[in-house]
């Protein structure tokens, strides 16, 4: 490390002359240490030049450490501070932490302790980047080994979880070269995953033998057992919640709850009218259309804009079919705006006697669709990392988080899941259909639809796939990987408009493999 690149440390201690060996130790390891003996001199130097780190003695004559810290943060709020003290009283440590110190050491300290504390703060990012590269190579090789073996639905969950973890880690350390490696591997995995789903999905529909938990299994496997135990359950479905989104929210939630994370596979298409109705009814779309002939309608062009108006009835019927008798009526709330969400959070305590409360949050799905038409949202969330940051910011200030914090003070058990995820569209593929064809970008149903079979799953016989048929010539197309459908007319215009937009309805790890989370208050 050259003198020009040496990290600059300001060290304030009334016994600084006794710490020359510590200073030399830091200098020898690439740090430039400026010693002062009191808080006043430290503050004066901070006015004149920039320091990368401040070592601050707590007990100094005149301006003590805490007082110096307070003024220091006014002058430079972002400079990291390590407090060093002889006092081991807990209240002092709490006060120092409350005033935004970055680390806390108790005297006597040896040179190695000081060095490691400085290194942890000043070189953490560089260390993480270096270590991350090595760690990813190991995990990448593990994934490649899995792909050469007979993959199971359980293995695919592990693959998706590892890739999501690395997406988050790379966003944290900001390593662009590593990001490209992960993106390339995700693309390779999605190719194989699409083949896996295409080859096995009809078996999953026909049989429960060694099938993954699907949308239709969420209530029987995760909600019903809790109700049978006599527990009050808040069943929360967050429309369009990806696994990586939940993973960044989980640490916030775990402050209030013990968290158990499981997984399920969305049914096809991975779209609200199909997958969310499947969750609430416990039935595949074909079964819904037969059982509820008066309620099920594919709706042609209006399909994607379905309000899923009968979810409460579907849920009540499913609970009854499972042989569960509730001690009272269930409640169902669809949160479509801030006012509705805040109202629900305020009323949480008044719902203590309701055995089952089902809540649907639409915000993320609205955000996904809104981003496709908003230059502002595209600027704020240009990629997966940016979108995760947006999701995190929303959740931190959301009525949903407020509701969860209130529920943490009750005996209710919370089950959180989603109907589908979303994938960032990267490649357009031409589709041919008539005017009655549904308008969604990642799946379509209609008559005599045509598309390149490499880019999409073509379903000419819907029933084995658990899908209803609308008559002779009726078929479905479901996009694979990151493809999205564009008609030949104005192809280039719509290709540009929807490229890099977040979409759902197709087959990808991001859309299909989803979290199911059970929360018990601590």
Residues 249-308: pLDDT tens digits?
999 999 999 999 999 999 999 999 999 999 999 999 999 999 998 887 654 444 444 557
Question: Among residues of the chain, what percentage have pLDDT more than 70?
Answer: 93
The pLDDT-based confidence of 93 (bands split at 50, 70, 90) is low
Q: How confident is the model at residue 315 (pLDDT cuts 50, 70, 90)?
A: very high
pLDDT score for 186? 94
Judged against a pLDDT cut of 60, whether residue 3 lies above it is answered with no
Burial of residue 148 (CB within 10 Å: 0-12, 13-18, 19+) is exposed
Distance CA 48, CA 332 (A): 61
**How does residue 434 score in pLDDT terms, banded at 50, 70 and 90?**
confident
In degrees rounded to 5, what are phi and psi of residue 122? Answer: -80, -30
Average pLDDT over residues 162-180: 83
Residues 238-256, mean pLDDT to the nearest whole number: 97
> What's residue 174's pLDDT?
72
pLDDT at 159 over 90: yes
Q: What is the pLDDT of residue 96?
A: 61
Q: What is the mean pLDDT of residues 509-522?
A: 97
**Cα 403 off chain centre by:** 19
Residue 62 reports pLDDT greater than 90: no
**3 state DSSP class of 419:** coil
The pLDDT, as a whole number, for residue 424 is: 94
pLDDT at residue 98, as a whole number: 64
Top pLDDT among 137 and 250 is at 250
pLDDT(140) > 60: yes
Q: What is the mean pLDDT of residues 54-73?
A: 88
Specify the range with the lowest mean pLDDT, choosing from 113-117, 118-122, 378-382, 469-473: 469-473
Q: How far apart are CA 302 and CA 81, in angstroms?
A: 58
User: How far is the C-alpha of 146 from the C-alpha of 256, rounded, in Å?
Assistant: 36
Q: What is the pLDDT of residue 4?
A: 45
List % helix, strand, coil for the chain (3-state, nearest 5).
Answer: 50, 20, 30
Please list the residues that pair with 268 across neighbouring strands: none
Given the structure tokens 């009750």, which residue do they identify?
410
138: number of Cβ within 10 Å: 8
Closest by CA to 236, choosing from 359, 401, 349, is 359
Nearest to 408 by CA among 304, 296, 287, 257: 257
Its sign, for the CA torsion 407, 412, 413, 418, is negative
User: Higher pLDDT residue, 301 or 86?
Assistant: 86
Average pLDDT over residues 154-166: 94
Q: What is the pLDDT at residue 375?
A: 85
Closest-CA residue to 442 (of 461, 428, 462, 459): 428
The model's confidence at residue 101, banded by pLDDT at 50, 70 and 90, is confident
Range of weakest confidence among 124-133, 159-168, 339-348: 124-133
At residue 437, the pLDDT reads 75
Euclidean distance between CA atoms 344 and 361, whole angstroms: 11
Residue 334 in this model has a pLDDT that exceeds 70: yes
Dump pLDDT digits (tens) for 359-407: 999 999 988 888 888 888 888 888 899 999 999 999 999 999 999 999 9
Mean pLDDT of 459-465: 95
Provide the percentage of residues in the chain whose pLDDT is more than 90. Answer: 62
Question: Degrees (nearest 5) of the Cα angle 200, 202, 205?
Answer: 115
Question: What pLDDT was estimated at residue 304?
Answer: 46
Residue 470 has what pLDDT?
A: 77
| Chain center to CA of 71 | 38
pLDDT recorded at residue 299: 47
Q: How far apart are CA 52 and CA 143, in angstroms?
A: 40
Average pLDDT, the chain: 89
Residue 473, pLDDT > 50, answer yes
Question: Do the Cβ atoms of 313 and 330 come closer than 8 Å?
Answer: no
Whether the predicted pLDDT of 194 surpasses 90: yes
Half-sphere exposure (CA, 13 Å, Cβ side) for 345? Answer: 19
Asked whether the predicted pLDDT for residue 2 surpasses 50, the reply is no
Least confident of 127-136, 233-242, 273-282: 127-136
- Interacting residues of 329 by C-beta distance below 8 A, sequence separation 6+: 354
């Amino acid at each position: 490390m050259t003198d020009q690149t040496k990290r600059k440390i300001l060290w304030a201690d009334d016994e600084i002359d006794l710490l020359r060996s510590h200073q030399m130790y830091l200098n020898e390891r690439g740090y430039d240490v400026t010693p002062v003996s009191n808080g006043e001199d430290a503050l004066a130097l901070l006015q004149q030049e920039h320091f990368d780190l401040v070592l601050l003695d707590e007990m100094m004559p005149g301006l003590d450490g805490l007082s110096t810290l307070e003024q220091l943060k006014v002058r430079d709020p972002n400079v990291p501070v390590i407090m060093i003290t002889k006092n081991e009283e807990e209240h002092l440590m709490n006060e120092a932490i409350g005033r935004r110190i970055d680390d806390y050491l108790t005297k006597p300290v040896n040179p190695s302790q000081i060095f490691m504390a400085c290194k942890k703060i000043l070189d953490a990012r560089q260390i993480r980047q270096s270590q991350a590269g090595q760690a990813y190579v190991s995990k990448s090789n593990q994934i490649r080994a899995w792909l050469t073996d007979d993959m199971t639905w359980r293995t695919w969950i592990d693959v998706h979880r590892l890739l999501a973890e690395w997406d988050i880690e790379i966003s944290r350390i900001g390593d662009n070269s590593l990001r490209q490696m992960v993106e390339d591997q995700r693309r390779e995995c999605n190719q194989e995953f699409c083949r896996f789903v295409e080859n096995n999905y009809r078996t999953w529909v026909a049989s429960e033998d060694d099938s993954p938990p699907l949308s239709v299994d969420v209530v029987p496997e995760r909600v019903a057992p809790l109700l049978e135990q006599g527990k009050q359950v808040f069943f929360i479905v967050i429309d369009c919640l990806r696994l990586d989104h939940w993973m960044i929210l989980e640490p916030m939630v775990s402050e209030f709850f013990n968290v158990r994370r499981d997984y399920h596979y969305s049914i096809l298409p991975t779209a609200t009218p199909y997958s969310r109705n499947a969750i609430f009814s416990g039935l595949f779309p074909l079964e819904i259309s037969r059982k509820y002939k008066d309620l099920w309608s594919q709706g042609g062009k209006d399909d994607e804009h379905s309000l899923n108006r009968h979810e409460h009835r579907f849920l009540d019927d499913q609970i009854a079919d499972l042989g569960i008798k509730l001690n009272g009526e269930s409640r169902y709330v669809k949160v479509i705006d801030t006012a509705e969400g805040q109202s629900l959070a305020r009323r949480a305590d008044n719902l203590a006697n309701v055995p089952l409360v089902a809540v649907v949050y639409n915000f993320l799905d609205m955000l996904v669709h809104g981003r496709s038409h908003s230059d502002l949202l595209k600027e704020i969330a240009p990629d997966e990392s940016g979108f995760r940051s947006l999701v995190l910011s929303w959740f931190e200030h959301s009525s949903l988080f407020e509701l969860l914090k209130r529920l943490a003070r009750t005996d209710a058990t919370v089950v959180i899941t989603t109907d589908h995820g979303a994938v960032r569209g990267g490649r357009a593929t031409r589709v041919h259909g008539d005017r009655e064809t549904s308008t969604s970008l990642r799946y379509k149903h209609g008559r005599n639809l045509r598309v390149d079979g490499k880019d999409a799953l073509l379903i000419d016989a819907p029933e084995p796939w658990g899908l209803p048929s609308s008559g002779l010539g009726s078929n479905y197309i479901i996009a694979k990987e990151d493809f999205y459908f564009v008609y030949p007319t104005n192809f280039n215009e719509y290709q540009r408009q929807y490229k890099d937009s977040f979409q759902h309805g197709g087959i990808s790890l991001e859309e299909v493999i989803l979290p199911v989370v059970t929360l018990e208050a601590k």
